[in-house]
Amino acid sequence: MTIQSDPKAITQFSTMQALLAGLYDGVFNLREVTGFGTIGLGCGHALEGEVILLNGKCYNALPDGKLVRMQPDDQVPFAEIARFDPDVRFSVDQAIGKDGLVKLITSRVRSANLFIALRVVGQFDFVKIRRVRRQNKPYKPFIDAVAVQEEETIEACSGTLVGFWAPQVYQGVTVAGLHVHFIDSDKQRGGHVIDLAMKHGEVAMESFNHFDIRLPSSEGFRKADLENPDFDAHIRSAEG
Ligand SMILES: [Zn+2]
């Protein structure tokens, strides 16, 4: 097999372990991050808000409920981005929940070993989202930071889910399973999806053999303890 340079990759900036360890300072410039694709997700500096990249435009769903366009000079502590060129598209005509959506997505890829980027434009009975508040130094661990997150259930809405599905073995490096953020069709509200019920929708997705990680060059990252046996439980609790 010949391995060549590959523009077709999911690129992740920092890791879930780093977030769990409290590395919330924005260390990646958004201008640089968005050069790696057109769809994705992340979180804001100091963990403030839930970042959504859709069709090359970057938004932050702030904890007070406002959705704002981000600026190229904004810094983010974590982001996951894909050069999205979906090769699988299908319609969902029946009502399904989050688990049903995961089953549909993974069955279409026919592998539990690849990374998947996806975009789902749909009509929803509800989308339950969360938005993390801005953290102050000294930063609390992630599990404590999200304990006071803002949660909202948006009922009877249309909008887009953007994000990824990752195999279980990468839990900690990224979020294993489904990790999607929501933005409504009016670009007024959004957040990290905790749960959902979709009436119908259009799924576009693409599987990736190439997952690229950019680690922070910060002093904080170099010195962080990233081996915590509780991290798996923390991710399941915080990101589920
Ligand atoms: Zn998220």
- Computed on alpha carbons and rounded to an integer, the radius of gyration of the chain in Å comes to 17
Question: How would residue 240 be classed by pLDDT, with cut points 50, 70 and 90?
Answer: confident
Question: 238: CA distance to ligand 1 center in Å?
Answer: 9
41 Cα: distance to centroid of ligand 1 (angstroms) = 7
The Å distance, Cα 88 to ligand 1 centre, comes to 23
- For residue 142, report the phi and psi dihedrals to the nearest 5 degrees: -55, -45
Q: What is the Å distance from ligand 1's center to 105 Cα?
A: 18
Tokens matching residue 148: 């006071």
Could you tell me if 107 and 101 are in contact, meaning their C-beta atoms sit under 8 angstroms apart? Answer: no
Q: For a pLDDT cut of 70, what percent of the chain falls above it?
A: 98
Please give the C-alpha separations between residue 133 and each of 22, 83, 129, 130, 137, in angstroms, as whole numbers. 14, 29, 13, 10, 13
Query: What local confidence, expressed as pLDDT, does residue 229 receive?
Result: 82
Q: What average pLDDT does the segment 200-212 reach?
A: 97
Q: What is the distance in A from the centroid of ligand 1 to the CA of 1?
A: 35
What's the gap in Å between 3 CA and the centre of ligand 1? 32
Q: What mean pLDDT, rounded, does the chain reach?
A: 94
Task: Please tell me the least confidently modeled range out of 3-12, 55-64, 197-206.
Answer: 3-12
pTM of the model: 0.95
